[in-house]
Amino acid sequence: MSQNTTPKAPKNNPATPASEAAGEHKVSNFLRQIIEKDLEQGTYASRRWAGTPGDAAHHAAGQPDPAKIRTRFPPEPNGYLHVGHAKSICLNFGLARDYGGVCHMRFDDTNPEKEDTEYVNSILDAVQWLGFGWEANGQSHLFQASDYFGFMYRAAEHLVQAGHAYVDEQTAEQMRAARGDFGKPGVDSPYRSRSAEENLARFREMRDGKHEDGSMVLRAKIDMASPNINLRDPAIYRIRRATHHNTGDTWCIYPMYTFAHPIEDALEQITHSICTLEFEDQRPFYDWLMERLTEGGLLAAPNPKQYEFARLNLTYVITSKRKLAQLVYDHKVSGWDDPRMPTIVGLRRRGYTPESIQLFAERIGVTKSDSWIDYSTLEGCLREDLENKAHRGMAVLDPVKLVLTNWAEAFGADDYTEDCTQPALPHSAIAEGQTPPPDRVFKIGKEVWIEREDFEEAPPKGYKRLFPGNVVRLKGGYVIECTGCARDATGTVLEVHAKVIPGTKSGTPGADSVKAKAAITWVSVASGVSAEVRLYDRLFSDPNPDAGGKDFIEALNPNSLKVVTAYVEPSLAAAKPDEKFQFERFGYFVADRVDHVAGGMPVFNRVTGLKDSWGK
Ligand code: ATP
Ligand code: MG
């Protein structure tokens, strides 16, 4: 796998929301071409839809399908969704939206052991937050695969009766040994030639709980010598005494995923069943099963077709649910929604917007070969989205006090303060005809907080900020001239000293009368508010934390979270949870959705810096 070369960002109209920008730049891909061809040729034009999933007879009695195509997003409810799932959601729901179709939200809950309703709710929430829904044509398209257990059983009996399936009583070990490998054809099971009647009786005994877990399986009878090992009589039903969250103890046999999934697609009249590349070798079985059940009259034609695309691999990120769970249970992060997690709840809490994730999905596109997408691509999409939306504000993250020693002389009293105003959004962010948001108002006084790094008593070459004798502007306020500093016994700077130059305030006629070498950010002691700022960085310091069997715990970035107490201007202190800002010079920040309480101590998360500076 190679480091990805990400497609260049399309040039945006400065005030165009990223979501629209994504819409304008829909790049064609192999899936779009397939769909367009199917629509042109009317591949699916004859389909009927009964309003609910069902077999051939059910749909035959329905109306011509109002949906031009049907796609589906079929997660197993066994964990929280992550950024890889987001790609699949945007793809499936996006294609349905773009081609007059419907995307089904389906829980692939055929495995009784792993599912949980906590995950069901979080998955629905994530899909809706990303901007998609399953209501269409006046109907809900939220389905669960376990509702199809009855049909799946019937389909299995049909295969048995038609001589396409048999009950195998070999041990798992024996079956594995008899399967052969790439260079060696498999060996027929001694049970392979049993009669249909005998197989049916045995299969019913399996269903009726007459046999132990694992003592026998139902296998499709295809070809033990097939070069595709998935066609060497794959298991399609197993005995497993487990209580299912939907069907309880009704069943003690459960279908295998490879058998269940095509049937789910067919009952729901899916046209384009889009999955990740690792299922490519399963496609011949998918088609085989469709053909057998359609010729048997159980499923409606034309059948769904499976297409595979490359899953998302993102540098500095792991997307295995199992490994993400380990981070949570080993307390390496604060939970599934820790802002460093690549889960959708984590990205949301970090400050990512649905639009930025949609833009990301659009920009990375879909391909048929695996590659790595650079993490900075995701950050870039967020910056692009927030550039014209996030109100600006000043915050001082590493504060030291600056005292304007001539303040009383200049303005009559030490406690004199004056309002400064600055736009909430720069001019370039305001679209034509759009009313700009109200200006921010904050006070300037004798004492202000500045960044500790903005003062150097002995400045290095090229340093333009505060040093004795240098003239800078307090951004949006007055021009000042630095005079020196006071230090404590250890030499640490206690306060910086400067003189204010009256008549130079920003936005007044004298603003340009004195030339400043730089403009520095600040927050006045009079109106600044203390805030907790969580400086998040990448969770891993290795771009491929779990590649090649590496221990990803070793790759954790020890500096992925630094918490500081900052001062922020009043407009930031008034933030509502989830509101995003650009802290001037620092990047994008969001009021934490969990810990930030409007009116209490503000809590901000750093989403991302202003430009990609990581590792530089
Ligand atoms: P895991 O192996 O971590 O449990 P999964 O792929 O089994 O993940 P599912 O819940 O089965 O998770 O996935 C639902 C859908 O999301 C599937 O269609 C799957 O192809 C897709 N998907 C999962 N991970 C990615 C990824 N990294 N990139 C793109 N699509 C993905
Ligand atoms: Mg899965």
524-538 pLDDT per residue, tens: 999 999 999 999 999
The answer to whether 236 and 259 have CB atoms below 8 angstroms apart is yes
Question: Which ligand is nearest the CA of 258, by number?
Answer: 2
Residue nearest to atom 25 of ligand 1 (CA): 84
For residue 157, the CA-to-ligand 1 centroid distance in Å is 30
pLDDT (0 to 100) of residue 10: 39
Task: For the sheet with 70-73, list strands across it.
Answer: 70-73, 102-107, 142-144
pLDDT in tens, 140-163: 999 999 999 999 999 999 999 999
pLDDT (0 to 100) of residue 96: 98
Q: List CB contacts of 38: < 8 A, sequence separation 6 or more.
A: 44, 69, 271, 272
Q: List CB contacts of 529: < 8 A, sequence separation 6 or more.
A: 567, 568, 569, 570, 572, 573, 602
The answer to whether 228 and 222 have CB atoms below 8 angstroms apart is no
Whether residue 508 has its Cβ less than 6 Å from ligand 1? no
Distance CA 225, CA 212 (A): 30
pLDDT (0 to 100) of residue 549: 85
421 beta partners: 441
> Above 50 in pLDDT, residue 586?
yes
Tell me the residue type at 75. P
Residue nearest to atom 18 of ligand 1 (CA): 275
Known catalytic residues are 76, 311, 321
Q: What is the mean pLDDT of residues 448-459?
A: 97
- ∠ Cα 458 459 463 (to 5°): 170
Is residue 396 helix, strand or coil? strand
Ligand 1 pocket test, pick from 83, 85, 282 with the greatest ligand atom count within 8 Å of Cβ, gives 85
16, 339, 352, 468, 587 from 608: Cα distances, Å:
21, 11, 9, 33, 6
Residue tagged 């995003």 (tokens)? 580
Q: What is the mean pLDDT of residues 172-198?
A: 96
For residue 121, the CA-to-ligand 1 centroid distance in Å is 17
Confidence of residue 612 (pLDDT cuts 50, 70, 90): low
Domains and CATH numbers, the chain: 392-527 (2.40.240.10), 531-608 (2.40.240.10)
Whether residue 320 has its Cβ less than 6 Å from ligand 1? yes
Tell me the residue type at 190. P
Residue nearest to atom 22 of ligand 1 (CA): 85
Please state the length of the chain.
616
Question: Which ligand is nearest the CA of 91, by number?
Answer: 1
pLDDT in tens, 53-90: 999 999 999 999 999 999 999 999 988 999 999 999 99
For residue 111, the CA-to-ligand 2 centroid distance in Å is 10
Confidence of residue 115 (pLDDT cuts 50, 70, 90): low
* Phi/psi of residue 419, nearest 5 degrees: -80, 140
> Above 60 in pLDDT, residue 19?
no
For residue 273, the CA-to-ligand 1 centroid distance in Å is 13
Distance CA 449, CA 567 (A): 8
Whether residue 270 has its Cβ less than 6 Å from ligand 1? no
Distance CA 272, CA 74 (A): 13
> Above 80 in pLDDT, residue 239?
yes
Residue nearest to atom 15 of ligand 1 (CA): 75
Give CA 463 to chain center in angstroms.
Answer: 41
526 exposure class (CB count in 10 Å sphere: 0-12, 13-18, 19+): middle
Cα within 13 Å of Cα(547), Cβ side = 14
Token pair belonging to 312: 């998302």
